[in-house]
């Protein structure tokens, strides 16, 4: 009986993997600066970690399972970024804030040209600045948590993020929808 | 850690950029048509069908991001162990494995240097080298390792100061006796990988015992700091005895070691050694 139950769980996890693999991989690609090999590894690690947890995970909704898998995948990726063990202490707090961002009107309004300009600026960032940016704006980590995870000074993180903000403003130009006083402005997206 | 946007200082700019990153997650697969997103899926499903899926091995240091603002990811320091006694190799490997931060990754072991010097590039950042392989001293091989791009941590049961000096002269970054290994080997590997000096008491003894006429000249403070520290005092105690700070003691000891490094090291590493004190130099 136990074996049949285990087989059923494996079958369900296989179906889940077929459905969510690309989503988790895409997330891992973003977090790992498009490091395909590492993204595949952390994706596989996340699904491997799901098997012993499956009795609990199978009761969740699909978005909840996706959130769990992405959280595990990014933990693995952050392990690669980490130069010291201080991030461990912050990990639980960090991941309470890591969740798929809900679609909203703002995102829906983004036009292709704005996104292309955004990615052009991101694409030329040095590795450390890229990692700081993705941790800040995709993983919702605080500057303090990023500094701990990367083993660098918080001021350095602030400097990276300020520079990225400034470069994005320049690159997007009129497609930046918020003026410097924080009001909606610029070109209509 | 606070979560509220107000406490975190999240601006509308932040929300806007976060939306762009969220969009990037949806676009990133089409941006890389050469990559198969499901490359690992079939492997995972196969493992799932055969039993417990295995976690893939950690990626190698050579993995380099092809684009999207990424680059080589900061990874563990890689290390090779050259030791002709398997029991010692396993012991050193166990020290590496037991490092809580998993900061060092063992990528190669061997009983001789053959595998290290034949490839087009260095197999590891650091080599932990037993100085006596198959009954022969291999200190003369150290310059070849340095030239091939390795940093060398010599690890030996021999405590003869002359051998320690010869090892240092040949360009080894650290000499650690086997008695010092369990406490200092991992930290020494990390220090030399980052071009930070790391001084052991074996080295201090060898420097203090040096009577060669052409030996590097040490200042009186450097000699006193080395002597007191070698006698078993902590660097803090040495500092109190000499009426200087602990950091100054570290500088004295590191500078003394750097004078010896200057005789056998490559220029870049020599500069690094002379650049400043070692924050991780062993002390009690």
Confidence of residue B207 (pLDDT cuts 50, 70, 90): confident
User: B39 vs A96: CB contact, 8 Å cut-off?
Assistant: no
Tally of CA atoms within 13 A in the half-sphere of B53 that contains its CB = 28
Are the C-beta atoms of residues B41 and A21 closer than 8 Å to each other? yes
- At B88 the three-state DSSP class reads helix
Alpha helices in A32-109, H assignment, sequence order: 36-57, 62-81, 86-96, 105-108
Contacts of B73 in chain A (CB under 8 A): 32-33, 35, 38, 80-81, 127
At B17 the pLDDT is 86
Nearest to B1 among A44, A90, A134 (CB): A90
Lowest pLDDT segment from A4-13, A99-108, B188-197, B264-273: B264-273
Contacts of A97 in chain B (CB under 8 A): 3
- Tell me the per-residue pLDDT of B147-181, one tens digit each, with 9 for 90 and over: 888 889 998 887 788 888 888 888 888 888 887 77
Average pLDDT over all residues of chain A = 76
What distance in Å separates residue B242's CA from the closest CA in chain A? 33
User: A85 vs B101: CB contact, 8 Å cut-off?
Assistant: yes
Q: Which residue of B has its CA nearest to A151?
A: B74
Using the Cβ of B20 and the Cβ atoms of chain A, whether some distance falls under 8 Å is answered with: yes
Count how many residues are written for chain B. 284
Phi and psi angles of residue B129, each rounded to the nearest 5 degrees, phi first: -115, 120
Are the C-beta atoms of residues B255 and B222 closer than 8 Å to each other? yes
More confident residue, B57 or A82: A82
User: B53 vs A47: CB contact, 8 Å cut-off?
Assistant: yes
More confident residue, A121 or A35: A121
Q: What ipTM does the predicted assembly reach?
A: 0.72
What distance in Å separates residue B5's CA from the closest CA in chain A? 10
Q: Is the pLDDT of residue B246 over 80?
A: no
Contacts of B19 in chain A (CB under 8 A): 101, 104, 106-107, 110
Using the Cβ of B5 and the Cβ atoms of chain A, whether some distance falls under 8 Å is answered with: no
Contacts 24+ apart (CB under 8 A), B266-269: B266/B146, B266/B171, B268/B195, B269/B151, B269/B173, B269/B195
What distance in Å separates residue B57's CA from the closest CA in chain A? 8
Using the Cβ of A25 and the Cβ atoms of chain B, whether some distance falls under 8 Å is answered with: yes
How far apart CA B260 and CA B263 sit, in angstroms, is 6
Average pLDDT over all residues of chain B = 74
- Tell me the per-residue pLDDT of B128-145, one tens digit each, with 9 for 90 and over: 999 888 888 888 888 888
Q: Is the pLDDT of residue B121 over 50?
A: yes
Q: Which burial class, exposed, middle or buried, applies to A163 when counting CB atoms under 10 A from its CB (0-12, 13-18, 19+)? A: middle
Instruction: Enter the DSSP assignment of A184.
Output: B
Are the C-beta atoms of residues A74 and B83 closer than 8 Å to each other? no
Nearest to A107 among B14, B23, B64 (CB): B23
Are the C-beta atoms of residues B44 and A47 closer than 8 Å to each other? yes
Full-model pTM? 0.44
User: A122 vs B67: CB contact, 8 Å cut-off?
Assistant: no
Phi and psi angles of residue A126, each rounded to the nearest 5 degrees, phi first: -65, 160
Confidence of residue A26 (pLDDT cuts 50, 70, 90): very high
């Amino acid at each position: 009986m136990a074996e049949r139950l285990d087989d059923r769980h494996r079958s369900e996890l296989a179906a889940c993997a077929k459905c969510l693999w690309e989503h988790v991989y895409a997330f891992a690609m973003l977090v790992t600066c498009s490091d395909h090999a590492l993204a595949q590894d952390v994706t596989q690690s996340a699904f491997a970690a799901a098997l012993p947890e499956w009795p609990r995970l199978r009761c969740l909704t699909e978005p909840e399972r996706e959130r769990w898998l992405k959280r595990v995948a990014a933990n693995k990726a952050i392990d690669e970024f980490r130069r010291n063990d201080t991030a461990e202490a912050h990990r639980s707090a960090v991941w309470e804030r890591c969740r798929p961002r809900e679609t909203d009107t703002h995102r829906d309004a983004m036009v292709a040209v704005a996104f292309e300009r955004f990615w052009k600026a991101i694409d030329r960032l040095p590795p450390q600045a890229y990692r700081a940016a993705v941790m800040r704006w995709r993983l919702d980590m605080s500057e303090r948590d990023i500094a701990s995870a990367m083993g660098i000074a918080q001021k350095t993180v602030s400097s990276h993020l300020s520079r990225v903000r400034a470069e994005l403003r320049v690159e997007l130009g009129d497609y930046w929808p918020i003026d410097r006083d924080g009001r909606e402005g610029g070109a209509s997206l | 850690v606070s979560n509220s946007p107000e406490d975190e200082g999240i601006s509308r700019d932040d929300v806007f950029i976060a939306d762009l990153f969220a969009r990037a997650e949806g676009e990133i697969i089409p941006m890389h048509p050469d990559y198969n997103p499901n490359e690992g899926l079939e492997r995972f499903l196969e493992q799932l069908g055969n039993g417990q899926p295995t976690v893939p091995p950690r990626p190698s240091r050579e993995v380099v991001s092809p684009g999207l603002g990424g680059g080589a990811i900061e990874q563990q320091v890689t290390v090779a162990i050259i030791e002709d006694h398997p029991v010692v190799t396993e012991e050193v490997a166990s020290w590496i494995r037991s490092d809580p931060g998993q900061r060092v990754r063992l990528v190669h072991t061997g009983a001789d240097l053959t595998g290290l010097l034949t490839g087009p590039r260095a197999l590891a950042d650091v080599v932990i080298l037993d100085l006596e392989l198959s009954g022969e001293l291999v200190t003369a091989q150290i310059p070849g390792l340095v030239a091939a791009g390795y940093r060398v941590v010599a690890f030996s049961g021999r405590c003869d100061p002359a051998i320690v000096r010869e090892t240092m002269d040949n360009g080894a970054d650290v000499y650690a006796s086997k008695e010092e290994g369990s406490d200092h080997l991992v930290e020494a590997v990390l220090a030399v990988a980052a071009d930070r000096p790391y001084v052991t008491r074996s080295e201090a003894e060898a420097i203090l015992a040096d009577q060669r006429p052409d030996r590097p000249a040490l200042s009186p403070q450097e000699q006193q700091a080395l002597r007191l520290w070698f006698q078993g005092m902590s660097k803090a105690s040495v500092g109190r005895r000499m009426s200087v700070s602990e950091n100054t003691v570290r500088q004295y000891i590191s500078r003394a070691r750097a004078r010896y490094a200057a005789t056998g090291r490559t220029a870049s590493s020599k500069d690094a050694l002379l650049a400043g004190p070692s924050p991780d130099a062993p002390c009690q």
